[in-house]
Every structure is written in C-alpha cells, then in structure tokens.
Amino acid sequence: MSMLGTICRELDLALKVKHVPFPVAFGPERSDSVSSSFGRIVIEHGGPGADSFDPPIGTHPNPKVHFLRWQGARLRLYARSNVANARYQDHTAFAEKALDAILCELDVCVRARKNRIRVNPGGFVPLDDAAGSQTWGGVVYELTFAIDRACERRTWEGEANAEKTIGVGEDDVTLTSTTKVSDALGPAGTPPVGAEDA
C-alpha cells in the first residue's frame, strides 16, 4: 500500500478511537457517491503539480537519499449536521469541530512515522458534481497538504547497497591505527625521525 493510503487507514483508526463520526476513504471518489452518507473524509493524491522536491536533509550514505519529496494530497470533509431543521451554520459548526480532530490526529499519524506535514489554506467549497441531489444538504470543507518522504536509491525489491559489518564473520577485516608522537617540529603529516608509536 502507498504511504498516503497507509496514513488514511491509520487516520481512520485514530478517529474511531476518538469517537469522531467520520470514516476515512482513500480516494478519488465522486462527490455524489459520498454526499448521500451522513459524513465522510476523502483523501486523495493532489494531482499534477501537487508534489515538490527539495534537496535531502543531512547525509544518508546507504541508502543514498537524492531528493526529499513533498507528496501533495487533497482532503475533503463532507459534513451534515443531524440536528432537526439544520441550517448552514449548524453544518459548518459540525464540520469545524470534526476538522480540529482530523488535523490533530493526522499530525499524530504523520509524526509517528518520522515524517513532516505541511497544511495549506483550506475552506468550504461548493459540491459541483452533486448539483440537484435530493439527499445532500450539508457542507464540504477542502484543504490540501503535503507529507515529506525520502527518495532513496534502492533496487526494485527495496534493497540498499550491500554492507559489511566489521568484527563479524570468518573473513573479518582487521583495522589498525598508528599515531606518531614526537616533541620535535616538522612538516605537517610527516613525523620526524625518532617519533614513537602510540
């Protein structure tokens, strides 16, 4: 499963623990397929141009990290208040309460994986492809975000370069280190005659 799909599954479980009444789906899904339900969160890839790339942070010799990819995604929250004769402000209040929980748990899920997250501006949006629906009477909140991930040089099977552990095995490598010590002055890197080994 992709990183984003795994995070969606983890977010769904985290929200259930907090009794947040919104299941999480890994999209894309047509708006009219989710708008008939009580409420739902749909997360999908951000589409063309949603990803950006930075140089790696620090040195990663094996596997070699060539880029830091900010994987873009879109989150849509479909919310409909169940109070009697609910008005627009009832739906938005319900959505905003859920949004706080969603963002907090999403942050926890991402940080637990040792990744970082950037959340971009969001807001309520019209549900264009559900126009004329007889069942939907709620609101949709949409935002985009990005999660960083390393672009590592590996084989297709996921293997990094082979490594040898020094100090293990019959064909072990023995390392020796010699330091030359003397009170006499001389050219850098050239021990004077009579220097002692330490």
* Structure token pair of residue 99: 């949004």
Give mean pLDDT, residues 129-153: 81
Distance, in Å, from the CA atom of 66 to the CA atom of 56, rounded to the nearest integer, reads: 6
Furthest-apart CA pair in the chain: how many Å? 98
Give mean pLDDT, residues 31-56: 82
> How high does pLDDT run on average in the chain?
84
Q: Does pLDDT of 94 surpass 80?
A: yes
Give residues with Cβ within 8 angstroms of 145, minimum separation 6: 72, 73, 75, 106, 117, 118, 119, 120
Delineate the domains of the chain, giving CATH numbers in brackets: 3-152 (3.30.2000.30)
pLDDT band at residue 84 using 50, 70 and 90 as cut-offs: confident
Cα torsion 90, 108, 72, 126 to 10°: value is 0
pTM for the structure as a whole: 0.74
Give mean pLDDT, residues 152-163: 87
Distance, in Å, from the CA atom of 73 to the CA atom of 44, rounded to the nearest integer, reads: 6
**pLDDT tens for each residue of 49-67:** 999 999 988 877 888 889 9
Q: Does pLDDT of 48 surpass 90?
A: no
Give mean pLDDT, residues 120-146: 81
CA distances to 33, 47, 108 from 23, rounded to whole Å, are 14, 23, 17
**Size (the chain), residues:** 198
pLDDT at 29: 77
